[in-house]
C-alpha cells in the first residue's frame, strides 16, 4: 500500500488527483491482508480498473483506491463451436479482445478498442456497434468487501441495462470483481449493420469478412472518431444515448428532420446524444482547458490543465442546453468520484 499517490496515470482524463492511499491487487490474498488493516476499516474505498470511465471531481481523494492488476486467461471447450473463456479482472480489455479474435472466437469483435480492464466491463455493461457485453457474458466472481466472501453472479443477478448493472447501482463499490467468464463462438454471426462497419469493410476491399476484419474495421472507425486518451485526456462517450418512445421521436423529427435515431425495443428509439449536443452548438467548444471534441461532440476532453470540477461544470452546461432545446435529459455515462 502506498500513501499520497498521484492518479494522473490511473485515469484517462489525465487529472493529477492525489489519493490518500493506493493498493495494487495482484490476487485475492492482497485483499485479505488489506482487510485486516486499520486503513481498510477507517477509509472509504473505490475500485479502479483502467480509469477510463470516471471523473474525479476534487484534487484529493481522501480514501483507499484499489487498482486491479491480476492476470490470467483460460479457455474451456464446451462444444465444437462454443468456448468458455475465464479472464482475470486486471487484464486489459483491448488486448483480451485481440487475443480472442486471433483465436477465431467470435462475439467480442464489435467491442474492439474500448479502453479499460476486463473487470470493469460488466459493471458498465460496455457496448458498441450493436453489441453489449451481456450478449456474451456467462458469469463473474467477485469478493464482497464487507464480508470477505466470494460470490458468483449469474447474468440474471447482474441487472444489466444500457451502460449499467447492479455493480453501478445498488451494489456500487461493495463487490470487487475478480474474474469474468464469457461464452464465445467459433461460428458466431457477424454484426455488420451498426454504424459504418459495412462501409469500412467495403473500403478495405473485403467481401467475406472475418472476426479479425470486423475488429479491424471497428478499431479504424473508433480511431478516426475518438481521440486517443494518451494524446488528449477524455473518457470516451460522456453521455448515454437517450432512449425515447417512438411518439416522442416523431414529434422531434417534425421540428428537426435530420435528427438521428435508431429503432429500439418495445416502440422505442435510441437517439444519438452526439447529434443532440452538436445541434445545440457545442461541438468544438472550449472553456479554459475543458472542451467538447471538435470531431465528436459526445466526447468531453481535457486539453491539459482542466480540473475535474471544470469538466463537470461544462458537462452540466451541455446537459442543460440539450434539455432546453429538445426536452431530452442526457444521462452521464461517466462515473463521478468525489
DSSP assignment of 95-138: HHHHHHHHTT-BSSGGGTT--SBTTHHHHHT-EETTEEGGGTEE
Q: How are the residues of the chain apportioned to helix, strand and coil, as percentages rounded to the nearest 5?
A: 30, 30, 40
Active site residue 237: yes
β-strand partners of 152: 141
Local structure of 11: helix, strand or coil: coil
Name the residue with cell 464487507.
Answer: 146
CB of 87 within 8 A of CB of 178?
Answer: no
As a whole number of angstroms, the distance between CA 311 and CA 14 comes to 12
- Is 81 one of the annotated active-site residues of the chain? no
Q: What is the Cα–Cα distance from 145 to 32, expressed in whole angstroms? A: 10
Question: Is residue 193 exposed (0-12), middle (13-18) or buried (19+ Cβ within 10 Å)?
Answer: exposed
Please tell me the distance from the alpha carbon of residue 323 to that of residue 93, in angstroms, as a whole number. 34
From the list 52, 165, 179, 237, the catalytic residue is 237
Q: What 3-state class would DSSP assign to 183?
A: strand
Residue indicated by cell numbers 465528436: 296
Are 274 and 297 a contacting pair, CB within 8 Å? yes
Reading the block at residue 149, the C-alpha cell is 466472501
Among candidate residues 52, 91, 109, 163, the one labeled active-site is 163
Decide if 219 is catalytic: no
Identify which of 46, 96, 52 has the alpha carbon closest to the alpha carbon of residue 67.
46
**Would you name the residues annotated as active-site residues?**
163, 237, 333
Amino acid at each position: 500500500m502506498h500513501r499520497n499517490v498521484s492518479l494522473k496515470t490511473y485515469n484517462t482524463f489525465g487529472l493529477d488527483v492525489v489519493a490518500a492511499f493506493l493498493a495494487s491487487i495482484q490476487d485475492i490474498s492482497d485483499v485479505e491482508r488489506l482487510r485486516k488493516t486499520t486503513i481498510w476499516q477507517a477509509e472509504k474505498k473505490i475500485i479502479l480498473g483502467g480509469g477510463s470511465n470516471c471523473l474525479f471531481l476534487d484534487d484529493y481523494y481522501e480514501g483507499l483506491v484499489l487498482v486491479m492488476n491480476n492476470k490470467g486467461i483460460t479457455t474451456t471447450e464446451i462444444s465444437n463451436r462454443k468456448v468458455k473463456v475465464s479472464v482475470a479482472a486486471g487484464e486489459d480489455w483491448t488486448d483480451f479482445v485481440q487475443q480472442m479474435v486471433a483465436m477465431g472466437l467470435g462475439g467480442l469483435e464489435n467491442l474492439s478498442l474500448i479502453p479499460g480492464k476486463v473487470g470493469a466491463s460488466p459493471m458498465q455493461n460496455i457496448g458498441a456497434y450493436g453489441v453489449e457485453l451481456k450478449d456474451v457474458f456467462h458469469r463473474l466472481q467477485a469478493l464482497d468487501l464487507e464480508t470477505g466472501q466470494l460470490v458468483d453472479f449469474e447474468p440474471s443477478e447482474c441487472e444489466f441495462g444500457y451502460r449499467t448493472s447492479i455493480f453501478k447501482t445498488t451494489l456500487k463499490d461493495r463487490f470487487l470483481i475478480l474474474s469474468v467468464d464469457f461464452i464465445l463462438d467459433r461460428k458466431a454471426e457477424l454484426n455488420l449493420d451498426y454504424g459504418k462497419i459495412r462501409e469500412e469493410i467495403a473500403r478495405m476491399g473485403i467481401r467475406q469478412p472475418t472476426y479479425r476484419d470486423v475488429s479491424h474495421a471497428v478499431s479504424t472507425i473508433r480511431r478516426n472518431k475518438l481521440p486517443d486518451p494518451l494524446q488528449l485526456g477524455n473518457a470516451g462517450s460522456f453521455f448515454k444515448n437517450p432512449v425515447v418512445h417512438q411518439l416522442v421521436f416523431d414529434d422531434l423529427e417534425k421540428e428537426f428532420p435530420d435528427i438521428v435515431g435508431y429503432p429500439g425495443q418495445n416502440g422505442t428509439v435510441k437517439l444519438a446524444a452526439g447529434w443532440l449536443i452538436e445541434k445545440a452548438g457545442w461541438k468544438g467548444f472550449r472553456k479554459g482547458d475543458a472542451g467538447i471534441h471538435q470531431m465528436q461532440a459526445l466526447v468531453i476532453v481535457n486539453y491539459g490543465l482542466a480540473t475535474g470540477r471544470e469538466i463537470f461544470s461544462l458537462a452540466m452546461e451541455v446537459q442543460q442546453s440539450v434539455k432546453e432545446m429538445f426536452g431530452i435529459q442526457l444521462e452521464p455515462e461517466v462515473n463521478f468520484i468525489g
